[in-house]
A and B are shown apart, each in its own frame.
Chain A
Amino acid sequence: MLRLCARSLLVVFGLVVQTGTSLADDEDKIHSKVRIDLVKRGAQYQVKVVVSDPADVELARRCEQREMRWRKLLAVYVVNSQRKVQRVSVLGRYARSDREIVFTPRFSFRPGLSYEVHWQGRRAVRQLVKIPPVKTPPAELVSLYPSGDRVPENLLRLYLQFSQPMTQGDSYRHIELLDAAGTAIDLPFLEVGEELWDPTGTRLTVLFDPGRIKRGLKPREELGPILEDGKVYTLTISQRWRDANGRPLKQGLRRLWQATAPDHRQPAPEKWQVNGPQAGTRSPLILRFPAPLDYAMLERVVAVVSPQGRAVVGEVKVDQQETRWRFIPQQLWQAGRYRLLIDSTLEDVAGNSIKRPFEVDVFRRIEKREKVETVDLVVEIK
């Protein structure tokens, strides 16, 4: 009924406007006015369109009733850095409430990016909207593991720890290994398409090409080893690496490495030094290793068990170039026999684990612990 009235009014109005052209144009503009705004709901930006022309309202109603496609009436397009409007419209949800239509993108609009909103109602309207950029400081490379400046020539793995999530997909472009003459070494890393990021997107695992570490494999036969004992190398991380918000790193990094003899020995917990704290304190329980172990695994694979057989909750700290592991309990230590349960998957920086060495020479007898899942160390706390 209301809609009918509105339509009658329009007809009447139409008759009126026949009488004077200039007046008619002005009135037409007023009545077919389309207002397009960028609005924020929670953390999500939306496009709000308010129409006044009943014909536009009717078109929106038809879209709502699925008599026509929303995209034909209202579409949002990405505008790229060359100010070119893309041909494919942004996917999203549409909601109408009387004269108001709200477009919510299926995936949040990207901060700093511009979008062009196209209204194809009674009048065609185009309007540019810009999503405000994020105002947080650019990401930093916080640490690089192994953190020491001496690495075995069969070094397997690096960890890069950033302060914020980084862009993914072209990481290897930003990491270079230079020889003593400053020449980049050809393909030193295993470029895994999936890129080995942690769930937070702030830590990247970079593997040296195992084909050039393991003896007897074709890449090593033809290209040679990546690092050689006695030589000096520089690892560089480009400042141009962008964080998830699209900004370059605060600064790049250059780390000088001295390559040492290859390490084929398995980590042996029985050779570790254990420092038990005093009962009644929260002093750290300390493990010292003769050679650096894998930073990430040290944070995860050593569990402390109380004399009652319960897991002790606490915080792990790894330092001194990954040769020291410290555990600070939440509760005070009690007197008694604590156990340290160490997963036999724990590796050193060359990929040798407690369980087995990185590569097996079938002609050489090696102490293997293939079947062992954990190794126990007992700590008497007094």
Chain B
Amino acid sequence: MLCQSIRGLILGMALVAVANADLTEGLKQGDIKLASVGPLAFGPDGVLFVSDPLAARIYALDTADRSGDADKASYDLKNLGGQIAAALGTTPREVRVIDVAVNPASGNVFMSVMRGSGPQSAAVLLRVNPAGDLALVELSGVKHSHAQLPNAPADREVQRRGRKSNRRTQSITDLAFVDGRVIVAGLSNEEFASNLRSIPFPFQQVDKGTSVEIYHGAHGAFETRSPVRTFAAYKIAGASYLLAGYTCTPLVKFPIADLKPGSKVKGTTIAELGNRNRPLDMVVYSDKGKDYILIANNARGIMKVTTDNIDKIAGITKRVDRGGTAGLQYETIKSLKGVTQLDRLNQSMALVLVQGENGQENLQSVALP
């Protein structure tokens, strides 16, 4: 009896804890007006983080999309790009799928899409389910909150032909929700700097987050500050790390705990992924007790990287011989070609947007290799 009571109490406490932890708490009803739309990331409870690079904002949006089972979801949607263009009343050439994110609470897929370009362009959020039903994600009267990123280190409007203007934009290259923080990587269209921001969630009114610069030694002699292209969170020996794929350099790890205001973080190069190659998306998964990093690249296809010795690796600081590889070992998954977007669908499947030889974009679920 006592045991049962204790169990009931524990269960009750657990329920309260779960209720308290619901990410949608504190989100307020209102309209979202997107000036542009960039990368997406899902948190728990159907909360979608949406980046608006032009407005330098990150929205947290309650999608209220909680029914469905990601473990049972599978996708095989042909010519999704064409279907999106048709629904938006235009041609496929006018439509760019910026990012694709799976809602782990439902198994539905959310996509950020730009229709057209320039001032006439429209930022669109779409949802598609495994049956292929395409719907606009409603942005008026929705529960949300936002964080405003500072647009520039010393942002000043200038006079151009008597009118004020500021043409600097901050493109957002990736977004993730890790340990209660939203992590944003960006690249400016003017000054060259790696910009990685860590913003606590729920968003505080004036908290613009922490901006850090990630350095990593390359071949011992030079430090670089290249922009981070994509990243994924990974736990090494109980501590959270970010695994960052650089636009022009290798795979680097650094502890998330180091992302403190004003800090200069030095990452450790853990893999060389080869030349003529840029990482696009990255996911981490487990198979038979081992962890792997799956990386979609623009030129070298999909890479499956082992995490063996990721905790011990000292970092690559010496020249890698021509054609050689260094650090973590990887294999290229030859069966997956033309992948432009990658996310994890569930424990055993990945979701990919694939550009076929006919130029059509197909959304597919594939077994994690």
Contact = CB atoms under 8 A, between A and B. Distances in A.
Interface of A: 76-78, 80-81, 86-92, 105-110, 113, 115, 156-157, 164-169, 186-187, 190-203, 205, 207, 209-212, 214-219, 221-223, 244, 246, 294, 296-297, 299-301, 303, 313-316, 330, 343, 345-347, 351, 353, 358-363, 373-374
Given A90-B86, A90-B89, A299-B160, A210 B154 contact: no
B87 interface: yes
Given A197-B117, A219-B276, A345-B153, A214 B218 contact: yes
B141 interface: no
Nearest to A85: B86
Contact of A218 (B98, B153, B160, B250): B250
B248 A209 contact: yes
B161 A156 contact: no
A78 B117 contact: no
A211 B249 contact: yes
A78 to B, nearest CB: 5
Nearest to A204: B189
Contact of A301 (B154, B222, B249, B274): B154
B90 interface: yes
* Leading 6 A-B pairs by shortest Cβ distance: A165-B118, A201-B118, A211-B248, A86-B86, A196-B189, A216-B219
A110 B247 contact: no
Given A77-B86, A91-B89, A194-B171, 14 more contacts: A86-B86, A168-B114, A197-B117, A203-B189, A211-B247, A214-B226, A216-B221, A223-B276, A315-B159, A315-B162, A316-B158, A343-B154, A358-B192, A362-B222
Contacts of A296: 167-168, 189-190
B272 A218 contact: yes
Given A166-B117, A198-B169, A210-B247, A91 B88 contact: yes
Contact of B118 (A78, A166, A294, A347): A166
Interface stretch (B24-32, B119-127, B200-208): B119-127
Nearest to A210: B248
A212 B247 CA distance: 11
Contact of B136 (A89, A91, A217): A91
Contacts, number: 232
A315 B298 contact: no
A192 B247 contact: yes
Contact of B171 (A186, A192, A299): A192
A201 B117 contact: yes
A80 B57 CA distance: 35
A76 B88 CA distance: 11
Contact of B226 (A76, A210, A299): A210
B89 A76 contact: yes
5 contacts: A87-B83, A110-B90, A197-B117, A214-B224, A345-B154
B115 A196 contact: no
B117 A167 contact: yes
Contacts of B91: 78, 80-81, 110, 113
Interface string B116-152: 1111111010000000001010000000000000000
B295 to A, nearest CB: 15
A223 B156 contact: no
B96 interface: yes
Interface string B268-280: 0000101110101
A223 B275 contact: yes
B118 A215 contact: no
B166 interface: yes
Contacts of B114: 168
Task: Give the interface centre of B89, B249, B323 by most chain A CB atoms within 10 Å.
Answer: B89
Interface in B289-325: 298, 319-320, 322-323
A300 B167 CA distance: 9
A165 B90 CA distance: 17
Contacts of B116: 110, 244
Nearest to A77: B86
Nearest to A209: B248
Contacts of A195: 171
Contacts of B179: none
A359 B223 contact: yes
Task: Give the interface centre of A80, A199, A221, A353 by most chain B CB atoms within 10 Å.
Answer: A199
A165 B117 contact: yes
Task: Give the interface centre of A91, A115, A187, A358 by most chain B CB atoms within 10 Å.
Answer: A91
A314 B250 CA distance: 45
Task: Give the interface centre of B124, B136, B166, B167 by most chain A CB atoms within 10 Å.
Answer: B167
A363 B191 CA distance: 25
B280 A156 contact: no
A106 B113 CA distance: 14
B191 A353 contact: yes
Contacts of A314: 159
A285 B224 CA distance: 36
A134 to B, nearest CB: 10
B176 interface: no
B171 A88 contact: no
A207 B222 contact: no
A197 B167 CA distance: 9
A217 B122 contact: no
